[in-house]
A and B are shown apart, each in its own frame.
Chain A
Amino acid sequence: MGTSLAVLVLTCVAFLTTDYIVNGKNLSQTLITRAGIIAANSTAPLATHNGEDAAIILSSLRLDPHIVAACMYDSDGRIIAKYPLSAPNEVFPGSPERQGHRFEKSHFIVFEPILQGNRWLGTVFLKSDLTELNDRFQLYSIILIMIVVASLAVSYGLSVRFQKDISGPIRDLAETARSIAIQNDYTLRARIRGTEEVGLLADSFNNMLDQIQHRDSSLQKINEALQKAEERFKSTLDHMLEGCQIIGFDWRYIYINEAAQKQNRRSKEELLGNRYMDMWPGIEATTVFGILKRCMEERIPDHMENEFTFPDGAAGWYDLSIQPVPEGVFILSEDITKRKHLEDERVELQKRLQFQTLFESVPGLFLVLKPDLSIVGASDAYLNATKTKREEIAGRGLFEVFPDNPNDPTADGVSNLRSSLERVLKNRVADTMALQKYDIRRPESEGGGFEERYWSPVNSPVLGAEGEIEYIIHRVEDVTEFVRQKQSKAAKENDPSGLQAKMEKMEAEIFSRSQELQEMNGKLHAANDELVKRNIENQESEQRIQNLNADLTLRASQLEVVNKELEAFSYSVSHDLRAPLRHIDGFADLLRKHTAGKLDEKGQRFLTTISDSAKQMGVLIDELLVFSRMGRTEMRAAKIDLGRLVKESIDALSEDTLGRDVRWNIGALPHVEADEAMLRLVFQNLLGNAVKYTRNCKKTEIEIGCTAKANEHEFFVRDNGAGFDMQYADKLFGVFQRLHRSDEFEGTGIGLANVRRIIQRHGGRTWAEGKINEGAVFYFSLPEHQHDDD
């Protein structure tokens, strides 16, 4: 409102000012004119100094009420006439100015000269008041002020209305928007009031807020769901029995769960945020690091069983699964130390079992005792002799199983045996017992009770690694029959010394036998240790093999990639090189047609050279492609009838041998294992060469044959053509190498290089002999069997 007021006021002021000025101008103009008229009419009275006439003229001024005074001056400056007649002389200026007009305080005065031709006769003086001007000014001012006031009123009235209907609601809307922005509260809504349009605006605004609120709440829900999912995920990982770790691309620990912390024997506070290699110095030299690196850099997952040695020397086995994840690498680790130990134990046990079975079936009666005299083993023979079963006695005390015969008051088996065993324990050497009566229990199925038995025992110790007694072997000879016989014999003849000697002899024998047994036992132990050592070495070798395999696989796949790239490269090179070639050839051809007749012989030759060169290059490209492919294509070995292959190659050369006297001598050719397409190329090349280089012969003779050598077939192709200088024989098979100029015999120099490559890939060799103008022989060998290692 202030603006409009200012504008209005300014307009009014401008209008007033303009009006005043214009009016003023008009007024002055009018008066000047009047003065002029008077002056023009006053020449006569002034010339005649007629004051009365002059006064009459002046009196006409009474028609203009605003002229308050006027007078005429003569040439001397004296007043000769006045208007009004009654005016005193003081009202007029004393002396007239020549000519001029101006506004004075409240009057306008004019001096106008009275001229007759060039003679200045006098001056007219007019004085007018400015009431007209002022009245008008006042009037307009009042009108304008009224207008301004009215406008103000209307303007105010309207503004009040707008306020109510438009700016109020709009301001509310703005306020609401601001509150929403500040408080981030999308549940606020604008109040709908005011005019239709504003109401519509508020309505749309509210709709928009509905949408926003809706979106906002969905967003919140999604965020919550995301957070929950993340927590669930984290919680799952947290509680897994297997260890979970996540290592970032910068090799710092991002996450590690409880299980992994236990396995690593370090807390997550120690590890998180730190670099893997800083936490485990020396880890970079290990296989597991290599795998981690591969996964980190090439995103290749892997799996391995790894034995990890802690700084304090302890070691554990872990089954590691290593996966690439968006943050870096994820390691799933399972502690399989126990499993490994169990496996080792099982292996150990199996070995023991084998020994045990061996041991138990050995002829000879013995018991194996622990130092506490409990039974840990017995041979089958012993069990038979004592009528016991293994499961009855194993693990039980010796004397519990074999007590004295309670019915025999003189039984001293237990005490003697115990003494002997104690001697062994103390002295750690074998102890031979004297002949001992020691009755055995008869099993219930046979009637129960005890049976008489005589034994000759030797007890010997088995020492462990540190010299302590691990076992005692109780070896016996059942001498019951012998004793009975002796007893019955002794009853017939009283020969104590004979008996004694025999007894001693037997004792000695028994003793030496038990010595042997001890020795054997020692050897068995040594053998066992050896086996254990071998096993460990095997494990290490296996690991090394695994690593090598992994390396090889990697290399192989890298090679494949390189091969594929080479294939793509040579294909696209050949393709792209061909385009300009055929353009050269094609346009040279067109040029030839275009200039037929107009071009001289030299010109024609130039054109032909261009075309030929382009064609030559095309051939080179093709051959180079073939050559490169020969080195990379997979070989497909099959049994091939070489005789047939050679015949087919000769047929293919029929065009080149047309009209020539060519004799083919084909020897017996075996079947070989080789790649048919490649061998076909070999024969095409060698036979083609033979035909080519015998071109200048009257009679061409080409011989093809084969000699069997140890483990290989040696083939040759002989011709009677141009031959070559043996001095350069080693260049023959080189790429793009030739021994003849291209104007003698055309060629690219790739053919033989191809042949060599193919034969080499089959595991054979190529060589040649020749003499200039006396022909050449080309040899190649093929092994009898192809190995499947290509």
Chain B
Amino acid sequence: MNGFKRILLMEDNPKDVELTLAALDEHNLANEVVVVRDGAEGLDYLYMRGQFQMRASGNPAVILLDLKMPKVDGLEVLRQVKSDSGLKTIPVVMLTSSREEKDLVLSYSLGVNAYVVKPVDFQEFLNAVKELGIFWAIINEPPKDSA
């Protein structure tokens, strides 16, 4: 089950990446996070092509998806993932810039089922994955300050 604990983070802003990793690192998840910088790289990772041809096999346990990325943006990635039989089972958490942006994303009925407002607060992240029912797939030990 080792490969299944991987989190795939698609985020283009390096500062946001750092903040997210810091939040997850506090809770011993940073080792399992794969970071890609745009939707194209993200899809390469998922399909095991390009620079990720030789990666360890297996889908990540969850995809953290930023809405706005260069080349291929978050919604396009979501569309592709949800229409691919091999990938559509991967839970997707959309990263939004604000609570109202959430409304915008909601209006695209592409199977978006969880949101986290940036920066990724760990508690918020926990709530999101709980919503998706993949809590136990991600967390290998209870966080120190869980509610």
- Contact status A575-B97, CB under 8 Å: yes
- Contact status B119-A586, CB under 8 Å: yes
Contacts of A593 in B (CB 8 A): 26
C-alpha gap A578/B101 in the complex (Å): 12
Please tell me if A622 contacts chain B, counting CB pairs below 8 Å.
yes
Residue among B19, B26, B101 with most chain A CB within 10 A = B19
Which of A568-598 touch B at CB < 8 Å? 574-575, 578-579, 582-583, 585-587, 590, 593
A residues in contact (CB < 8 Å) with B: 574-575, 578-579, 582-583, 585-587, 590, 593, 622, 625
Supposing A579-B13, A582-B118, A585-B119 touch, asked if A622 and B100 sit within 8 A by C-beta, the answer is yes
Supposing A587-B19, A590-B22 touch, asked if A575 and B98 sit within 8 A by C-beta, the answer is yes
Contacts of A579 in B (CB 8 A): 13, 16, 97
Which of B86-123 touch A at CB < 8 Å? 97-98, 100-101, 118-119
Contacts of A586 in B (CB 8 A): 15, 19, 22, 119
C-alpha gap A622/B117 in the complex (Å): 14
Mostly, the A contact residues are helix
Contacts of A574 in B (CB 8 A): 98
Residue of B19, B26, B97 touching A578 (CB-CB under 8 A): B97
- Contact status B100-A582, CB under 8 Å: no
C-alpha gap A579/B22 in the complex (Å): 17
Total chain B interface residues with beta-carbon distance under 8 A? 14
CB distance from A501 to the nearest CB of B (A): 101
For the complex of A and B, list the 3 residue pairs with the smallest distance between their C-beta atoms, beginning with the closest: A586-B19, A586-B119, A583-B15
18 new A-B contacts, CB < 8 A, other than A587-B18, A590-B22, A625-B100, are: A575-B97, A575-B98, A578-B97, A578-B98, A579-B16, A582-B16, A582-B118, A583-B15, A583-B19, A583-B119, A585-B119, A586-B19, A586-B22, A586-B119, A587-B15, A593-B26, A622-B98, A622-B100
- Contact status A590-B19, CB under 8 Å: yes
C-alpha gap A586/B13 in the complex (Å): 13
Output the nearest chain A residue to B20 by Cβ-Cβ distance. Answer: A586
- Contact status A575-B19, CB under 8 Å: no
Output the nearest chain B residue to A584 by Cβ-Cβ distance. Answer: B15
Contact with A along B4-24 (1 / 0, CB 8 A): 000000000101101100100
Contacts of A590 in B (CB 8 A): 19, 22
C-alpha gap A567/B68 in the complex (Å): 18
Contacts of B100 in A (CB 8 A): 622, 625
6 intermolecular pairs with C-beta atoms under 8 Å apart: A575-B98, A586-B15, A586-B19, A586-B22, A590-B19, A593-B26
C-alpha gap A731/B6 in the complex (Å): 56
Output the nearest chain A residue to B99 by Cβ-Cβ distance. Answer: A622
- Contact status A582-B119, CB under 8 Å: yes
Output the nearest chain A residue to B13 by Cβ-Cβ distance. Answer: A579
Contacts of B26 in A (CB 8 A): 593
CB distance from B118 to the nearest CB of A (A): 6
C-alpha gap A574/B15 in the complex (Å): 18
Which of B48-69 touch A at CB < 8 Å? 68
C-alpha gap A12/B23 in the complex (Å): 92
C-alpha gap A587/B19 in the complex (Å): 7
CB distance from A610 to the nearest CB of B (A): 15
Which of B8-48 touch A at CB < 8 Å? 13, 15-16, 18-19, 22, 26
C-alpha gap A207/B16 in the complex (Å): 64
Output the nearest chain B residue to A621 by Cβ-Cβ distance. Answer: B98
C-alpha gap A93/B101 in the complex (Å): 124
C-alpha gap A574/B101 in the complex (Å): 10
Contacts of A585 in B (CB 8 A): 119
Output the nearest chain A residue to B15 by Cβ-Cβ distance. Answer: A583
Contacts of B68 in A (CB 8 A): 575
- Contact status A583-B98, CB under 8 Å: no
- Contact status A575-B101, CB under 8 Å: yes
CB distance from A434 to the nearest CB of B (A): 97
CB distance from B35 to the nearest CB of A (A): 16
Output the nearest chain B residue to A580 by Cβ-Cβ distance. Answer: B15
C-alpha gap A585/B16 in the complex (Å): 11
C-alpha gap A593/B23 in the complex (Å): 11
C-alpha gap A625/B98 in the complex (Å): 12
CB distance from A634 to the nearest CB of B (A): 16
Contacts of A587 in B (CB 8 A): 15, 18-19
CB distance from A662 to the nearest CB of B (A): 28
Output the nearest chain B residue to A576 by Cβ-Cβ distance. Answer: B97
C-alpha gap A556/B101 in the complex (Å): 28
C-alpha gap A586/B16 in the complex (Å): 9
Contacts of A622 in B (CB 8 A): 98, 100
C-alpha gap A590/B101 in the complex (Å): 25
Output the nearest chain A residue to B120 by Cβ-Cβ distance. Answer: A586
C-alpha gap A583/B101 in the complex (Å): 18
Contacts of A625 in B (CB 8 A): 100
C-alpha gap A582/B118 in the complex (Å): 7
Contacts of B101 in A (CB 8 A): 575
CB distance from A622 to the nearest CB of B (A): 7
C-alpha gap A585/B13 in the complex (Å): 15
Contacts of A582 in B (CB 8 A): 16, 19, 118-119
Contacts of B19 in A (CB 8 A): 582-583, 586-587, 590
C-alpha gap A575/B67 in the complex (Å): 12
CB distance from B54 to the nearest CB of A (A): 33
C-alpha gap A579/B26 in the complex (Å): 22
Contacts of B22 in A (CB 8 A): 586, 590
C-alpha gap A579/B13 in the complex (Å): 9
Contacts of B18 in A (CB 8 A): 587
